């Protein structure tokens, strides 16, 4: 499903990175059901009932064994109620150990040959294996005679086991620990029931924005304030396995003084998800988008009276099989892009030379090496065809290959790192093929329940809106940090780097963006957002350089 995202993402999401003040309207995932207070702490540290029973049994034995360890100094009368042989046999049956297992000698002589194997196994074990070894070590070190006490070697093994016990509990609790986006409860709507399993959702946002450089130019800057209204409706089914839905949204920006920069964009699409069983899922999506080229980006036609507008018609689909040792997926997309005429001083400019068709297909596969690590691979091909070529063809075909690892310990640590090769061949005889290193990085780290760090990076070839440049090689890096301050407030900061390498022209635009925002949930359906950002682009001798800042404040409503 990534074809369209790579092709038009800079058009649909660049404004958020450039202005650093627009509201996000993507519906948020619903929180897990349950009480809001005590259930979180209970769920975070909950473990299986069998583990709890074993832990209580181990703890009882451990207390008695500790009494044996300090018996030369303190006499504990309760030690005479220790375990007899019959209780030991019952415990071994309940934990699955062989009833003929010989306990470690309780002689005062240190028997290192007898205790060393257990110590080594305990040191290098983890998970369920360590849990069983903890039970084993404490049992076999338990004196069978009520009046005897463990040997020095047995005491050492028991000491290690007591330190290993908390690690077992924490390892099982990792998978259910909450992240900042779990703790923070954003505005959300229950939806409006239409008929049976059909629901209608809406997310809207209204913001006031101040921008110090609305045209993104280096000199003669123009500052202005604007009002931004975004609204999206989502009509979807609520079935157990399948989903079919329609989305429609509109974004309107109105400036106070510079009315020529006013813009309205909108989109509508249909999507479907079919669960075919046997871990096979099919996704499909198609729709229409009216967008604008952000001022100062590669698609901006300098000095136009109004922002450059374009229409995208797209269709994409994928089939995936996940959850096994071998996972695989095949995706494809087709986008038809058409530019509307622009004007300079009321003189019409034909931009039809930008019209193009973009096709892409991607094959992904991963192989599980262990419960936490998978080998990851990806191979994709693309074809870019322009409707018109003014003198020299700008058509191109290419491919990219990636190989790496997917490391997922839990929801706390999830990393995809892959490197490979990229190759794009152009029909123009004098244009050198774009080749070189390809990469993709996606990482999520939650060091504590209230902090979350997300990073990503990728490189890809994009179509060019300029008549003398066949393609643009884009490099994109993003970093985001989130901090939850309770269930009503979320603080977020981020940085974005985008490099645009113009093929056929010795020039590269490098754009840096930083932002920060605070989100506060007022009620179940309403939240307030305050955000600020700074951007800077360096275009070199042949490019466009500028900088600017923005601040915004607004509200979001979800129904």
Structural domain contains residue 71: no
* CA 339 to chain centroid: 33
- In eight-state DSSP terms, residue 23 is P
Taking all residues of the chain, what is their mean pLDDT, rounded to a whole number? 76
pLDDT value of position 34: 35
φ/ψ of 114, rounded to 5, equals: -80, -35
Summarised one tens digit per residue, pLDDT across range 147-156 is: 455 556 566 6
Check pLDDT > 50 for residue 32: no
Split into its structural domains, the chain has a count of 1
Q: Containing domain of residue 329, as a range?
A: 180-558
Structural domain contains residue 12: no
User: Which three-class secondary structure state does DSSP give residue 422?
Assistant: strand
Structural domain contains residue 109: no
Structural domain contains residue 196: yes
Which of 296, 28, 55, 306 is CA-nearest to residue 166? 55
User: Which three-class secondary structure state does DSSP give residue 42?
Assistant: helix
Summarised one tens digit per residue, pLDDT across range 165-222 is: 544 443 444 444 566 766 776 666 788 899 888 999 999 999 999 999 999 988 889 9
Structural domain contains residue 76: no
Structural domain contains residue 156: no
Kindly give the interhelix angle for 49-69 and 152-173, rounded to the nearest 10 degrees: 150
pTM of the model: 0.66
Return d(Cα 411, Cα 325) in angstroms, integer: 19
Structural domain contains residue 91: no
Structural domain contains residue 28: no
Return d(Cα 471, Cα 84) in angstroms, integer: 81
Summarised one tens digit per residue, pLDDT across range 273-293 is: 999 988 999 999 999 999 999
Return d(Cα 106, Cα 94) in angstroms, integer: 23
Supply the CATH number for residue 483's domain: 2.40.160
Give the H or E element holding residue 495: strand 489-502
Tokens representing residue 529 in the block: 């957002």
By the 8 A CB rule, do 475 and 460 touch?
Answer: no
Return d(Cα 476, Cα 84) in angstroms, integer: 67
């Amino acid at each position: 499903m990534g074809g369209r995202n790579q092709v038009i993402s800079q058009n649909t999401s660049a404004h958020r990175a450039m202005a650093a003040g627009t509201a996000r309207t993507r519906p948020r995932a619903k929180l897990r059901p349950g009480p809001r207070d005590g259930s979180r702490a209970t769920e975070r540290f909950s473990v299986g009932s069998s583990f709890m029973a074993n832990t209580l049994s181990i703890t009882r034995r451990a207390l008695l064994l500790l009494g044996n360890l300090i018996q030369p100094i303190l006499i504990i009368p309760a030690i005479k109620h220790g375990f007899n042989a019959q209780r030991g046999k019952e415990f071994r049956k309940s934990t699955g150990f062989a009833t003929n297992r010989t306990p470690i000698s309780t002689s005062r002589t240190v028997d290192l040959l007898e205790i060393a194997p257990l110590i080594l196994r305990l040191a290098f074990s983890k998970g369920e294996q360590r849990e069983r070894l903890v039970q084993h070590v404490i049992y076999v070190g338990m004196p069978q005679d009520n009046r005897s006490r463990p040997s020095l070697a047995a005491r050492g093994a028991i000491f290690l086991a007591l330190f290993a016990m908390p690690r077992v509990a924490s390892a099982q609790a990792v998978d259910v620990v909450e992240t900042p986006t779990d703790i923070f409860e954003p505005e959300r709507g229950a939806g409006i029931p239409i008929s049976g399993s059909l629901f209608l959702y809406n997310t809207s946002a209204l913001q006031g924005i101040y921008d110090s450089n609305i045209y993104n130019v280096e000199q003669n800057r123009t500052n202005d304030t604007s009002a931004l209204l975004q609204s999206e409706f989502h009509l979807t089914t609520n079935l157990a396995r399948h989903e079919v839905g329609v989305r429609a949204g509109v974004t309107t920006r109105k400036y106070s003084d510079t009315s020529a920069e006013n813009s309205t964009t909108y989109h509508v699409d249909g999507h479907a998800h079919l669960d075919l069983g046997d871990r096979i899922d099919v996704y499909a999506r198609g729709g229409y988008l009216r967008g604008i080229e952000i001022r100062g980006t590669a698609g901006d036609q300098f000095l136009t009276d109004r922002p450059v507008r374009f229409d995208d018609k797209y269709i994409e689909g994928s089939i995936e099989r996940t959850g096994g040792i071998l996972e695989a997926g095949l995706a494809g997309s087709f986008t038809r892009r058409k530019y509307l005429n622009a004007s300079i001083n009321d003189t019409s400019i034909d931009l039809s030379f930008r019209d193009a068709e973009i096709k892409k297909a991607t094959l992904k596969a991963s192989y599980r090496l262990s419960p936490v690590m998978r080998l990851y691979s990806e191979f994709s091909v693309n074809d870019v065809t322009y409707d018109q070529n003014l003198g020299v063809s700008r058509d191109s075909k290419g491919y990219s290959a990636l190989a790496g690892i997917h490391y997922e310990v839990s929801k706390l640590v999830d990393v995809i790192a892959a490197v490979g090769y990229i190759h794009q061949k152009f029909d123009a005889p004098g244009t050198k093929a774009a080749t070189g290193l390809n990469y993709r990085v996606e990482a999520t780290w939650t060091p504590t329940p209230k902090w979350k760090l997300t990073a990503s990076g990728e490189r890809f070839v994009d179509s060019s809106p300029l008549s003398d440049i066949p393609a643009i090689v884009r490099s994109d890096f993003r970093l985001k940090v989130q901090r939850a301050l309770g269930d009503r407030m979320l603080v977020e900061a981020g940085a974005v780097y985008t490099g645009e390498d113009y093929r056929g022209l010795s020039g590269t635009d490098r754009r840096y963006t930083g932002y920060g925002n605070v989100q506060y949930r007022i009620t179940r359906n309403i939240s307030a957002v305050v955000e600020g950002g700074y951007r800077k682009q360096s275009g070199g001798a042949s490019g466009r350089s500028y900088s600017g800042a923005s601040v915004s404040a607004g509200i979001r409503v979800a129904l």
